[in-house]
Structure 1
């Protein structure tokens, strides 16, 4: 029982270290500002989560490489026409507002400059801290014991059923193999 308590305290302290419970990370603590110039900055890599501060919200996108960003943006024009030349043009404020009003959005791939629309681009590094936390939990062999114990408790409490038995076997086995 003492080992289990030690394990839980250790994992909570690990989560606290990455400040996952601290709301101040939204204020830019784990973000790195990047200027949007003619080409992508060298520190920006494929798959990075990009943020652009707007007046009332923060716009998010995923960097695809080669100065391209995929993002979800409200747009009314795809509802009105199938013309790819028209829908592929830069979205104007009128199209954006009408897309918000009628709740229509599309996933677009635009250049960094079109995505930024005159604002600074921030690279959010919070996902890397979260991934490191999960990797350390998975690699810890006490996770296998803990999940096995929880699984057997669920079998005793809920009875023998595929919904309880299968996760009791598969989750600890997967953690054991990953560790």
Structure 2
């Protein structure tokens, strides 16, 4: 389902023009070096570390480096299409962009994670130095290493993602529910009867899967 949402957003975003914020929306004097910045996107929140002088380091998926060696093209702000294809291809890098390119027309929230994270933040200069040391290509995973893991490590020393936790919790509630267990058993029974192969092995596998989901619910 999540992949279908990504693909749907990819096709929908092609017809939308990026909205330009007001000139004063991203004034550098609103932020300090080492601040953790976050901006809302259509289906997720994007994170970055402020480096000073209007620059933000952030981990972002991008398909373009795989397709071309043109550094000028790659250095431009990553569009939604480039980002989503990068997610699918698991290609990403930690790069530095301007505040405007990082925000991509969205409002910027500063250090909001300090409220929800029990670990105290590191000194701002140390946070920024960590962010700068990790610049370049990185292994990317939508669930296990994304932009939030990157900034959380830089600011708190822990590579965690609340978005991933919430997604996995929601997925567990959907999959490991009694309704899912009953539907699995029903679909398995219909499948076996339709194919006329009610042999012990597939029947046992169907019952075992239903039982496992039921016990996990």
Per the normalisation by structure 2, the TM-score is 0.41
